[in-house]
Structure 1
Amino acid sequence: MSLLVIGLVLFLGIHSVSIVAPAWRDTQVERRGEKVWKGIYSLVSLGALILVIYGYGVARQAPLAIYAPPLALRHVALLLMLPVFPLLFAAYLPGRIQRAAKHPMLLAVMLWAAAHLLANGSLADVLLFGSFFIWALADRIAAGRRAVPRRVPGAPPSTLNDVAALVGGLVVYAGLLFRAHAWLTGVPLLG
């Protein structure tokens, strides 16, 4: 469990710099250069993500149940997951979906986390998905308060981007639903 916690602290910590210390982040970019800052950010994120994944896997081997969700909540979780991947695509494909969601990546993370909290009740699940939900909510609030929003790199704005986000997102969702989730996590979603 400690590897999971350390990974979460590092991963969400580096991703929270813009929330808690935006001026410090800007100073680091200015001092080191954008490429060096992004390199450090990426290395810390990757290392922390590996710790999160490995730590979660270890914690799942001896789960400590906090609550037992009713089976019906798994169906609700599947429905909550439906818009997650179109929103993730929309974060980099500007169009109406991105404008309506304002921060589609953060909304996707919140829906993903909430869905998994509904379907899973172990301590590791609550730590992992609860932490991501709280972080995404805090970042969404902070992003709404920024005077000048940071530009997310992506495709040029187009109405076709909405179609690409929907189709691409639903294809990924279907892939996870029918095969990939079981292959990645050992937990089949259907059946």
Structure 2
Amino acid sequence: MAILILGLVIFLGIHSTRIFADGWRTSMVARMGLWPWKGLYTAISILGFIVLVIGFRMARRDTMVLYSTPSWMPHVTALLMVFSMILFVAAYIPKNWFKAKFHHPQVLSVKTWAVAHLLSNGVAADVVLFGAFLLWAVLSFSAARRRDRANGTVYAPGNVIGTSITIAAGLVAWSVFALLLHGPLIGVRPLGY
């Protein structure tokens, strides 16, 4: 569990600079330059992610169950993951309703992903992983909305085309991950096949 927590600290720590140390981040970008900062940020993120994955795999060997969920809950998780994938892709597709309405759909995607998985997984390692991401997403979304208000950020309105493309791309992403990749990569087949 310690390696999982270390991975979470590294990965979520670097992703929390805009939450807890935005001034420091700004001064580092000014001192280093944007691209060197992005390179350092990426390197630390990758390191944290690798440690997190290794730690999670090790921690999952301990099957201490903190709570049990009903047998139908994975279906709720699968449905929530459809919305999570739509929100995730909404961050990258212009002129969609989700970005116009929520402003930070990718962070909401992480929040939805974490809640969805906490509903289905009561094993200690899962609760630590998804609980940490949920806490980060709540803090990140709040900080991003405060920055938007302080900067007077205005988001472009969505339209039918952008929103339709976003929903279609989210459904494709969900289908590929849920049906093809989740089992081989994570070891769990969310829909049973």
TM-score by length of 2: 0.90
Alignment partner of 1:61: what SS?
coil
In 2, the alpha carbon distance for the partners of 1:110 and 1:149 equals 24
1:181 alignment partner in structure 2:
182
Counterpart contact for 2:78–2:191, Cα < 8 Å = no
CA RMSD of aligned residues (A): 1.9
Q: Where do 5+ consecutive residues of structure 1 fail to align?
A: 152-156
Alignment partner of 1:129: what SS?
helix
Alignment partner of 1:83: what SS?
helix
In 1, the alpha carbon distance for the partners of 2:159 and 2:80 equals 26
2:42 alignment partner in structure 1:
42
Counterpart contact for 2:75–2:191, Cα < 8 Å = no
- What's the offset of the Cα at 1:167? 1.1
Counterpart contact for 1:143–1:149, Cα < 8 Å = no
- What's the offset of the Cα at 1:83? 1.0
Q: Which has the higher mean CA deviation after the structures are superposed, 88-97 or 11-20?
A: 88-97
**C-alpha distance 61-167 of structure 1, shift in aligned 2 (>3 A):** same
Counterpart contact for 1:81–1:115, Cα < 8 Å = yes
1:154 alignment partner in structure 2:
none
User: For 1:141-152, what aligned pairs fall within 5 Å after superposition?
Assistant: 141-146=142-147, 147-148=150-151
In 1, the alpha carbon distance for the partners of 2:85 and 2:152 equals 23
**C-alpha distance 38-104 of structure 1, shift in aligned 2 (>3 A):** same
1:32 alignment partner in structure 2:
32
- What's the offset of the Cα at 1:150? 8.3
2:170 alignment partner in structure 1:
169
- What's the offset of the Cα at 1:35? 0.6
Q: Percent identity?
A: 40
In 2, the alpha carbon distance for the partners of 1:149 and 1:7 equals 35
- What's the offset of the Cα at 1:149? 7.4
User: For 1:60-99, what aligned pairs fall within 5 Å after superposition?
Assistant: 60-95=60-95, 96-99=97-100
Q: Deviations over 1:35-91 (max 9, x none)?
A: 111111000000000111111111112222111111122121111111111111110
Counterpart contact for 1:178–1:190, Cα < 8 Å = yes
In 1, the alpha carbon distance for the partners of 2:189 and 2:176 equals 12
In 2, the alpha carbon distance for the partners of 1:60 and 1:98 equals 35
- How many residue pairs match? The answer is 187
1:116 alignment partner in structure 2:
117
- What's the offset of the Cα at 1:94? 2.4
In 1, the alpha carbon distance for the partners of 2:152 and 2:10 equals 24
